[in-house]
Chains A and B, each alone.
Chain A
Amino acid sequence: MTPTPASATEKILHWAVASAVLLMAATGGVMYIPSLSEIVGQRFWVRTIHVASALAFGFVLVLIPAFRWSEIRRLERDLSFWDRVDWDWFRRPWDVFVSRYRPEDSPHRRFNAGQKLLAALVGTSLALLLFTGAAMYWWWWFSGELVSRARDLHVLAALGLVGLLAGHIYLALFSPYGLLQSWLGRRSPEQ
Chain B
Amino acid sequence: MSHPVGRRIFLAGLAAGVGMVALGDGLPAALRSWLEGPLGELSPSDGFHFYSVTGSIPSWDRSKWRLEVDGLVDQPLSLSMEDLVGTGTRQVTADFHCVSGWSVSAVRWEGVSVAALLDHVAIHPEAHALRFESADGAYVDFLDLAVARRPEVIIALRLGGATISAERGAPARLVVPFYYGYKGVKWLRRITAVDAADTGYWEARGYDSDARIRH
Report whether B41 and A34 are in contact in the complex, using a CB–CB cutoff of 8 Å: yes
Q: A44-B53, A146-B21 are in contact. Are A34 and B167 (CB under 8 A)?
A: yes
In the bound complex, what is the Cα–Cα distance between A152 and B101 (angstroms)?
12
Among residues of A, the one whose C-beta sits closest to the C-beta of B57 is A38
B44 proximity list for chain A (CB < 8 A): 32, 34
B146 within 8 A of A: no
Within 8 A of A (CB), among B14-57: 14, 17-18, 20-22, 24, 28-29, 31-32, 35-36, 41-44, 49-57
Q: A34-B44, A38-B52, A146-B21 are in contact. Are A80 and B32 (CB under 8 A)?
A: no
Report whether A149 and B54 are in contact in the complex, using a CB–CB cutoff of 8 Å: no
In the bound complex, what is the Cα–Cα distance between A123 and B7 (angstroms)?
10
Q: Which residue of B28, B52, B214 is within 8 Å of A149 (Cβ)?
A: B28
Q: A34-B44, A37-B50, A41-B52 are in contact. Are A132 and B21 (CB under 8 A)?
A: yes
Within 8 A of A (CB), among B55-86: 55-57
Q: A124-B14, A132-B21, A140-B214 are in contact. Are A152 and B7 (CB under 8 A)?
A: no
Report whether A144 and B29 are in contact in the complex, using a CB–CB cutoff of 8 Å: no
Size band of the interface chain B makes with A: 35 or more
Q: A34-B41, A135-B21 are in contact. Are A123 and B31 (CB under 8 A)?
A: no
Say whether chain A's binding surface is mostly helix, strand, loop, or mixed.
helix
A33 within 8 A of B: yes
Q: Which residue of B7, B42, B205 is within 8 Å of A33 (Cβ)?
A: B42
Give, as a whole number of angstroms, the nearest-CB distance from B12 to chain A.
8
A177 within 8 A of B: no
How many residue pairs at the A-B interface have CB separations less than 8 Å? 139
Report whether A81 and B55 are in contact in the complex, using a CB–CB cutoff of 8 Å: no
Among residues of A, the one whose C-beta sits closest to the C-beta of B22 is A146
Report whether B6 and A119 are in contact in the complex, using a CB–CB cutoff of 8 Å: yes
In the bound complex, what is the Cα–Cα distance between A80 and B7 (angstroms)?
5
Q: A128-B17, A149-B24, A153-B21 are in contact. Are A123 and B2 (CB under 8 A)?
A: no
Within 8 A of B (CB), among A34-49: 34-35, 37-44, 47
A150-164 vs B, Cβ < 8 Å mask (1 yes, 0 no): 111101110100000
B204 within 8 A of A: no
